[in-house]
Every structure is written in structure tokens, then in C-alpha cells.
Amino acid sequence: MNYKEFLKKFPDEKSIIDYFIKIRYPEGIKCPKCGNTKVYQKKARPKVFDCNFCGNSFSIFKDTVFEKTTTDLQKWLFAISKFLNAKKGVSAKQLQREIGVTYKCAWRILHQIRKAMAEENPQGFANGQFSV
């Protein structure tokens, strides 16, 4: 998948969040504290949900490679796509040039991807169901 095709599939952060929710929560989002299904998405912070029952506020990216990231999700998904499709791997320097981030950020993204791939049940890739 080239960058144009990628942007067509994921034009904005909302589309990525919706895609992630569909994969990680196929039966719908539940509050991790009380298990209630009546949760609502915050408008100001679309990655965060609030529970109507207990008032718990939680991120849908908890326990994933995307947890606590400030980097744009489009850059993350494109980096994952590049990593998965590369025959000989991707260097942090190459990723830095291609997605327009600092070397430190590119290195961290690649490190998180490799760490998630080494896990038996990677939560960041929605239990192995991730595909761009």
C-alpha cells in the first residue's frame, strides 16, 4: 500500500480510531472498571471514553503500543504498514524521513512495534487481527 492509498483508507484520526474500535471491541466498548456498555466518547479527546454508570474515564488504547503517544495515529499506522511490508526491515532513520518525525520518535515507534510483535497476544495489534 502506498501513501496515497493509505490516506484514502485513513483520511483522518477519527477514521483510525473507528477502525481500531471495530477490531479491538467487536462486541462494543465496555467500561474496564464496571463492565457497563453505556459509554460515550469525549468530543475534545476522541481516544477517551467515559462510563455513564460509574463515571470512569478510560482510553481505548490502554495496554497497546499507542498508549500515551502524542504522535499522530496516521504516522503510527503508516509506520506499521511500512514495517510489515518491508523485506529487509525498516531503519529508524528511513522511518524518520518517510513519516516526518524526529529520530527519537521513529526509533520509539519501531521499538514499540517490535516489542508488540514479540508478545504472544499483542494488544496493540488487537490480538493479531491488525492489518492496514
Pairwise CA distance, residues 47 & 79, whole Å: 20
In the predicted structure, residue 106 carries a pLDDT above the cut 60: yes
Q: What is the pLDDT of residues 24-76, one digit of tens each?
A: 889 989 998 988 899 998 888 888 999 989 989 999 998 888 988 899 999 99
The full set of domain ranges for the chain reads 1-25+61-132, 26-59
Q: Which three cell numbers stand for residue 47?
A: 481516544
pLDDT band of residue 89 (cuts 50, 70, 90) is: confident
Q: What is the 3-state secondary structure (H, E, C) of the chain?
A: CCHHHHHHHCCCHHHHHHHHHHHHCCCCCCCCCCCCCCEEECCCCCCEEEECCCCCEEECCCCCCCCCCCCCHHHHHHHHHHHHHCCCCCCHHHHHHHHCCCHHHHHHHHHHHHHHHHCCCCHHHCCCCCCC
pTM: 0.78
